[in-house]
Amino acid sequence: MTILAKFTQLRESYQKMAAIGRDPFSVRFDGILSPTEGMLNGRRTILLGTNNYLGLTFDQSCIDKGVEALVEQGTGTTGSRIANGSYGGHGDLERDLADFYGRQHCMVFTTGYQANLGIISTLVGKDDILVIDGDSHASIYDAAKMTAGQVVRFRHNDPDDLYKRLRRLSDHPGNKLVVVEGIYSMLGDTAPLREFAQVKRETGAFLLVDEAHSMGVLGQTGRGLAQEVGVEADVDFIVGTFSKSLGAVGGFCVSDLPDFDILRVACRPYMFTASLPPSVIATSIQALKRMREEPGLRLRLNANSHRLYEGLRNLGFQVGPEANPIVAVALPTKELAITFWNALLEAGLYLNLALPPATPNSLALLRSSVSAAHTPQQIDTAIQLFAQVGRELGVLPDPAIVQAAE
Amino acid sequence: MTAELDEIVDEIISALGPTVQTPVTITTDTNITRDLGLDSLAVMDFVMVLEDKFDVSIPLERIAEVETIGDLARTIQDLRGRA
């Protein structure tokens, strides 16, 4: 028996999915033309599944800063910050992010995944309790596996359920860390953060909000859901990423807790991985600047989100509970979702196929993410393609039949 | 087996009703993932139901050690004893 034998079942279901058409987990673009268009199998394809919320990946000022850093500082740091030292840019980006969030401290990580993994697993010690939303992102679940403390789940977006579970733990002497997300990445639903903040205040827990999908999207100045609903003072830790609104890669955590910086020598996913290359740091600094200077990007994104969400909903698709840049269409079966996804790709529209167990309530989802860089025409084309494929596959009623019945 | 443990097993089996689709007779020796076909997510969701039923906190790392219904009942008994 080989060491990979345990994956036999996984391999079978993977092959079954890939047999329906293209392999959704191995899409390879021939080229990327802009934040919203790529070349796929020789045809121009609309990119509607890249989390490129502000469309800054091709921003000229970001590219210029990146090139400059690349030329002046080289391709990489070739090691971790505790061993190889930090470059000026790492500190500059931390300072800029702390300033943007109005917080004392910031730590930059090499990916958003590592930011969650590192911060959560390090904060929760063996005598503490981590309390997570049932629909948490994989990075939060992996942090839960890594922590030495106890882990308790509460029902998704349910403040009463959280309260009940914290109350049960009230005799436990350890610190409790509650972890929620600003916008959930599969359905685009926001957390009831005002209510969660109240539970946090009543129970004395600490609160961490992952604003990966809400930074640059929600809030008066783009700080995320905590800003949007006015509870930033209750949020002890904000985690975010550079790989969505900022168009690069990397993660961060900001906080006002005194002594936060001790985590730099305690948090293993920070300490034992290579730091971000200077070019990525430089483009992230510039993208943050662009985001702050140009609130119009957020307004355009918002308008596009509504256009797609309402367009798909009005066609009769089952969409998520609210209009956000993540617009997910739920389909009745996994097979139908895979077929639908393939048909859209053939027609020149790329988005994400999301299947259980990565999805809440075992839903089969076609997950779109809207960008400020999408033109209204691109959004309308996407809606038309959804309508066309939806009718072909019988997900939507045939308009001729509907008319005849009326 | 103590009467209390029997009672916990009965409660677990009745709570499993809506979760388990395969028609099997559930006993203390039933393996939760193998015999009932529950994936890890379904197990975690079921644990939430049990937490409410027994008004006890069942940390996820305790579930990692659980294989059978009997293991689960003993874990709950142990956690209750501590409360």
CB contact under 8 A, B48 and A155: yes
Residue A206 shares a structural domain with residue A238: yes
pLDDT of residue B16: 86
pLDDT of residue A403: 58
Residue ending a domain, among A293, A313, A342, is: A293
- Interface residue of A151, A157, A162, A163 to substitute, partner B, most B CBs within 10 Å: A151
Residue A34 shares a structural domain with residue A80: no
Confidence of residue A124 (pLDDT cuts 50, 70, 90): very high
- Interface residue of B33, B43, B45, B57 to substitute, partner A, most A CBs within 10 Å: B57
Confidence of residue B64 (pLDDT cuts 50, 70, 90): confident
- Interface residue of A153, A156, A163 to substitute, partner B, most B CBs within 10 Å: A153
Residue A350 shares a structural domain with residue A219: no
Nearest Cα to Cα of residue B57 among A156, A181, A161, A121: A161
Residue of B57, B61, B83 with shortest CB distance to A165: B57
Confidence of residue A93 (pLDDT cuts 50, 70, 90): very high
* Burial (Cβ within 10 Å: 0-12, 13-18, ≥19) of residue A378: buried
Residue of A153, A172, A356 with shortest CB distance to B44: A153
A336 touches chain B (CB under 8 A): no
Residue ending a domain, among A268, A293, A318, is: A293
CB contact under 8 A, B61 and A150: yes
CB contact under 8 A, A155 and B57: no
CB contact under 8 A, B57 and A151: no
Would residue A1 count as lying in a domain? no
Would residue A158 count as lying in a domain? yes
Residue A178 shares a structural domain with residue A226: yes
pLDDT of residue B26: 86
Q: Which chain A residues are within 8 Å of B53, Cβ to Cβ? A: none
Minimal-distance CA residue of chain B relative to A135 = B41
Would residue A300 count as lying in a domain? yes
Number of folded domains that form chain A? 2
pLDDT of residue B81: 83
Q: How far apart are CA B58 and CA B73, in angstroms?
A: 11
Q: Which chain B residues are within 8 Å of A171, Cβ to Cβ? A: 83
Identify the CATH number of the domain in which residue A128 sits: 3.40.640.10
Exposure string over A160-176, b if 16+ CB within 10 A, otherwise e: ebbbbbbebbeeeeebb
- Interface residue of B33, B60, B76, B78 to substitute, partner A, most A CBs within 10 Å: B60
Q: Report phi then psi at A254, rounded to 5.
A: -115, 150
Pair of tokens at residue A354: 């999301």
Residue A12 shares a structural domain with residue A101: no
Number of folded domains that form chain B? 1
Residue of A150, A165, A357 with shortest CB distance to B39: A357
Residue A345 shares a structural domain with residue A255: no
Domain extent for A35: 7-47+295-405
pLDDT of residue A356: 87
Residue A256 shares a structural domain with residue A365: no
Would residue A12 count as lying in a domain? yes
Q: Is the peptide bond before A357 cis (omega within 30 degrees of 0)?
A: yes
Q: What is the mean pLDDT of residues A386-393?
A: 97
Would residue A53 count as lying in a domain? no
Q: What is the mean pLDDT of residues B40-69?
A: 92
Instruction: Name the H helices within A35-104.
Output: 60-73, 81-84, 88-101
- The complex's ipTM works out to 0.90
Q: Which chain A residues are within 8 Å of B45, Cβ to Cβ? A: 134
CB contact under 8 A, A150 and B41: no
Residue of A155, A168, A356 with shortest CB distance to B55: A168
Q: Are A43 and A256 in contact (CB under 8 A)?
A: no
Q: Report phi then psi at A319, rounded to 5.
A: -110, 175
Residue A203: enclosing H or E segment and its boundaries?
helix A193-203
Minimal-distance CA residue of chain A relative to B56 = A168
Residues A3-28: pLDDT tens digits?
999 999 899 999 998 898 998 888 99
Residue ending a domain, among A277, A293, A309, is: A293
Q: What is the mean pLDDT of residues A71-92?
A: 97
pLDDT of residue A134: 96
Q: Would you say residue A253 has pLDDT above 80?
A: yes
pLDDT of residue A327: 98
Which regions of A176-315 does DSSP assign to beta strands (E)? 176-181, 206-210, 237-241, 251-255
pLDDT of residue B23: 72
pLDDT of residue B25: 84
Within 38-67 of B, beta carbons closer than 8 Å to A belong to 39-41, 44-45, 47-48, 51-52, 55-61
Residue A146 shares a structural domain with residue A275: yes
Residue of B40, B56, B59 with shortest CB distance to A150: B59
- A–B interface: beta-carbon pairs under 8 A: 37
Minimal-distance CA residue of chain B relative to A153 = B48
Q: What is the mean pLDDT of residues A240-260?
A: 98
Residue-level length of chain A? 406
Residues A319-360: pLDDT tens digits?
999 999 999 999 999 999 999 999 999 999 999 999 988 898
pLDDT of residue A266: 98
- Interface residue of A128, A136, A152 to substitute, partner B, most B CBs within 10 Å: A152
Minimal-distance CA residue of chain B relative to A148 = B61
Residue A154 shares a structural domain with residue A257: yes
Q: Would you say residue A227 has pLDDT above 60?
A: yes
Pair of tokens at residue B78: 């142990």
Confidence of residue A276 (pLDDT cuts 50, 70, 90): very high
pLDDT of residue A399: 67
pLDDT of residue B39: 85
Identify the CATH number of the domain in which residue B32 sits: 1.10.1200.10
Residue A243 shares a structural domain with residue A391: no
Domain extent for B74: 3-82
Confidence of residue B3 (pLDDT cuts 50, 70, 90): confident
Q: What is the mean pLDDT of residues A241-257?
A: 98
Residue A318 shares a structural domain with residue A202: no
Residue A62 shares a structural domain with residue A207: yes
CB contact under 8 A, B44 and A134: yes
Q: Which chain A residues are within 8 Å of B37, Cβ to Cβ? A: none
pLDDT of residue A231: 98
Q: Would you say residue A190 has pLDDT above 90?
A: yes
Q: Which chain A residues are within 8 Å of B63, Cβ to Cβ? A: none
The whole-chain average pLDDT of chain A stands at: 96
Q: Which chain B residues are within 8 Å of A151, Cβ to Cβ? A: 59-61
B3 touches chain A (CB under 8 A): no
CA A306, chain centre distance (Å): 19
